[in-house]
């Protein structure tokens, strides 16, 4: 039995990230979040980055509990459910992994001095409710709705408590129409609910992540939209870089 599963992030790494699209997570989650918190943080850039990392580990500690329940229990009730992780793990080990994550979340909450911040508890309560519903639902269409919100919470977690108050809503809007919406395509495809064979083309990704620039044009005059503008710009640059790299290698964007 993998004793390292007691450590937050280890389960995500072993069951999703190691054989998954880690480049997407690195660019569209971690790098983008780092840029946002360092540019728009309520504290100096380096301090903001450290805070974001600690918040992320608090987030992933709870999020991995949802993964464990999904993989070891909920997936068994789904048709063609993906049974990741140690399916034959003794119950004692499962409870041990969960207990360590709860303790890690509490410890990080205290370290960040968030124990009396209502917004902290309301955010993670909402996340827990959404993941619980995601694991309870058997209907794939229902799970598509919960997955969309899980993706949104995933992006917002390390950002929302670090950036200045006035930028939160703009970042939340950009994350919903760009990051969360794009992640939903992949989820729907994995469940056989999407007929969109060209979605993985570089050209599609380029168009998808450049379209929010129209929103940037509309919202740029408003100072509180700076988070929206910055996140959309970062995604556009990443998409353009990927398209340029593809063009140099293959001479086309397919």
Query: Which residues does residue 163 pair with via DSSP β-bridges, in sequence order?
Result: 41
Q: Output the pLDDT for position 80.
A: 67
Would you say how long the chain is, in residues?
A: 254
pLDDT digits (tens, 9 = 90+) for 43-85: 999 999 999 999 999 999 999 999 999 998 887 777 666 778 7
Find, among 122, 11, 4, 121, the residue nearest to 61 by Cα.
11
How many C-beta atoms lie closer than 10 Å to residue 76's C-beta?
10
Region 182-208: mean pLDDT is: 90
Name the DSSP letter for residue 5: G
pLDDT tens, residue by residue, 92-121: 889 999 999 999 999 999 999 999 999 999
Instruction: Return the pLDDT at 139.
Output: 87
pTM over 0.85: yes
User: Which contacts (CB < 8 Å, 24+ apart) does range 1-8 have?
Assistant: 1/86, 1/89, 1/90, 1/93, 2/86, 5/86, 5/93, 5/97, 6/96, 6/97, 6/100, 7/100, 8/57, 8/60, 8/61, 8/64, 8/100, 8/101, 8/104
Contacts by 116-119, CB closer than 8 A, 24 or more apart: 119/161
Provide the β-strand partners of residue 41.
163
Distance of CA 166 to the CA centre of its chain: 22
Band the pLDDT of 252: cuts 50, 70, 90.
confident
Q: What is the pLDDT of residues 137-174, one digit of tens each?
A: 988 889 999 999 999 999 999 999 999 999 999 999 99
Q: Both ends of the chain: CA-CA distance in Å? A: 43
């Amino acid at each position: 039995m993998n004793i390292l599963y007691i450590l937050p992030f280890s389960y995500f790494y072993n069951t999703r990230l190691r054989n998954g699209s880690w480049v997407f997570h690195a660019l569209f989650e971690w790098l983008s979040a780092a840029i946002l918190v360092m540019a728009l943080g309520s504290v100096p850039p380096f301090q903001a980055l450290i805070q974001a990392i600690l918040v992320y580990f608090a987030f992933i500690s709870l999020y991995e509990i949802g993964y464990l329940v999904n993989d070891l229990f909920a997936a068994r009730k789904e048709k063609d459910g993906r049974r990741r992780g140690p399916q034959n793990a003794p119950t004692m080990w499962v409870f041990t992994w969960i207990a360590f994550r709860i303790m890690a979340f509490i410890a990080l909450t205290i370290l960040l001095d968030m124990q009396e911040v209502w917004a902290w508890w309301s955010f993670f309560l909402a996340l827990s409710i959404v993941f619980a519903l995601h694991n309870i639902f058997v209907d794939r269409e229902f799970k598509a709705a919960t997955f969309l919100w899980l993706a949104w919470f995933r992006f917002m977690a390390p950002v929302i408590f670090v950036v200045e108050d006035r930028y939160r809503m703009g970042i939340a809007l950009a994350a919903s129409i760009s990051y969360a919406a794009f992640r939903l395509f992949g989820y729907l495809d994995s469940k056989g609910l999407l007929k969109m064979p060209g979605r993985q083309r570089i050209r599609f990704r380029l168009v998808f992540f450049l379209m929010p620039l129209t929103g940037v044009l509309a919202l740029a005059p408003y100072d509180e939209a700076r988070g929206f503008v910055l996140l959309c710009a970062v995604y556009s640059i990443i998409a353009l870089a990927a398209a340029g790299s593809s063009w140099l290698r293959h001479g086309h964007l397919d």
